[in-house]
Structure 1
Amino acid sequence: MDDAGASYGLWLLVFVNSAVFIIFAFSFFKPQTKRDWRSFGAFSAFVVALFTEMYGFPLTIFVLSGWLQSTWPDVDWLAHDSGHLPEMMFGWQSNPHFGPFHILSFALIGSGFWLISVAWHHLWSAQRQGRLATTGPYARIRHPQYVGFVLIMLGFLVQWPTILTLAMFPVLVWMYARLARSEEEDSYARFGETYSSYVNRVPAFIPKFASSVRGTDAR
């Protein structure tokens, strides 16, 4: 394999990309409790690990180099584009940035950002009025912001899978599920029967597409 110096070791890009995504997540997540900070810290670690391998040091490529080189001997695995492992493994011959997995990745990441942004607007409006957020994405799922974060992480995994981020992903999903349960306990205490009725109508993470949610404003 060729020298990876030209493709990696770009630590300024690691810093800039990590900072952009972490600051964006912080602006919507706004951690307050210790559990919030642990969850946000884990997401931040996921982002740093991702961009470190994308632009800094390709740990996954080095660990799997023997298997990758023997299975796909015609691929220069230290070229930056080869970090798009799904495209390489399935024999995508053109620019991997236009490959099916990369397009799917953009769709997942874009959907995640959109969901977080729209959900925050409805949550902020509800908090200002002292009511339960049941409009917009909250009319379909109870925790759209956490679902948005999971979609973003899943999108990055599809685009640039690494050993570290694949290991971290289920841990983060578990942490978000715990955080969601904790928030629901607070909502039960604050809104009582109103929240109980909302829980009976609206699923936590996966929307019901077969039937519309009644009793909520889906604007």
Structure 2
Amino acid sequence: MNSAGNDYGLWGLVVVNSIIFIGFAYSFFKPVNLRDWRSFGAYSAFVVALFAEMYGFPLTIYLLSGWLGSKFPGVNLFGHDAGHLWWLLTGQQGNPHFGVLHLLSFAFLFAGFTLLSKAWHVLYHAQRRHQLAKAGPYRYVRHPQYIGFVAIMFGFLLQWPTLLTLVMFPVLVLMYVRLAISEERDSEKALGDAWRSYATVTPRFIPNFAKDDGARPVSSH
């Protein structure tokens, strides 16, 4: 088993990729209050943890090196391809970047960022008009931006799973659920019957594509 070489220790790439994916999400999410910053900060921490292992130091590979070395004796565990653990563990051959899970990860990333973009566009214009956001993705779910963040993180897990991000993912999903419920309490207090009418016909997270338009409070994400 070779030791870590030039495939890691690329901290410049850690910084550049973190800035790109955090900045891209920020351009669509635009946090304005403490609750927004908490949700955005959690996503940012996930991204930094991911790229720190992808290009900086392969902590997961290091911790599992004994078991992986005995199971895959001919594999350079500290080469970049071995970091695609789903590919390695299922015994696939060839370039992992063309594997089904890797390609599927791009679909989740694209869907997540698209959802963030469309949700922010609707929310922004609704806020400017002092109206309920009820167009676009808000027709089907009450918290499309949180769903977008979860889709992005899940896409990254399909592409490059690590022990840290695997632990972080369910914790962050639970945090987003709690933030969503907290937002809804505030929205109900502020909007009363309009919010309750909207919430009655619009699911929190699982889309209902057969429903009619409802109303959407401008303060939720």
Pick the TM interval, shorter chain. Answer: over 0.9
Deviation, 1:26, is: 2.4
Unaligned runs of 5+ in 1: none
Contact residue 132 and residue 191 of structure 1 kept, 8 A: no
Contact 1:13 1:55 (8 Å CA) reproduced: yes
Matched residue, 1:180: 180
Give the number of aligned pairs: 215
Name the counterpart of 1:36: 36
1:50 aligns with 2:50: yes
Instruction: For residue 216 of structure 1, report the CA deviation from its aligned partner.
Output: 4.3
Change (3 A) 1:215 1:46: closer
Give aligned-pair identity as a percent.
61
Question: How do 1:1-219 residues align onto structure 2 when only pairs under 5 Å count?
Answer: 1-209=1-209, 212-216=210-214
- One-letter amino acid matched to 1:62: Y
When structure 1 is superposed on structure 2, of 200-209 and 50-59 the one drifting more is: 200-209
The one-letter code matched in structure 1 to 2:211 is V
Q: Describe the shift of the 1:21–1:164 C-alpha distance in structure 2 as closer, same or farther (beyond 3 A).
A: same
Kindly indicate whether the alpha-carbon contact (under 8 Å) linking 2:5 and 2:79 is maintained by their aligned counterparts in 1: no
**Residues 84 and 96, structure 1, Cα contact 8 Å, conserved in 2:** yes
Q: Which runs of 5+ in 2 are unaligned?
A: 216-221
Q: Following the alignment from structure 2 to structure 1, what is the Cα–Cα distance between the partners of residues 151 and 133?
A: 21
SS in 1 for 2:9: coil
State the TM-score, normalized to the length of structure 2. 0.92
Q: CA deviation at 1:94?
A: 1.7
Q: How many angstroms does 1:81 deviate by?
A: 1.1
Cα RMSD after superposing both structures: 1.5
1:78-137 residue CA offsets vs partner (Å, 9 max, x unmatched): 110110110111122121000011011111111101111111111111111111111110
Structure 1 Cα separation of the partners of residues 114 and 93 of structure 2: 31
Contact 1:126 1:132 in 2 (8 A): yes
CA distance in structure 2 between the aligned counterparts of 1:164 and 1:199, rounded to whole angstroms: 35
Alignment TM-score, normalising by the size of structure 1 = 0.93
Distance 2:145 2:164 in 1: 24
Partner Cα distance (2:129, 2:32) in 1: 21
Cα distance per residue 1:153-195 (max 9 Å; x no partner): 0110111000111111111111111211122122212322111
Deviates more, 1:23-32 or 1:138-147: 23-32
**Deviation of residue 32 (structure 1)?**
3.4
Q: Name the SS of the counterpart of 1:26 in structure 2.
A: helix
Alpha-carbon distance in structure 2 between the residues aligned to 1:32 and 1:178: 18
Give secondary structure in 2 for the equivalent of 1:53: helix
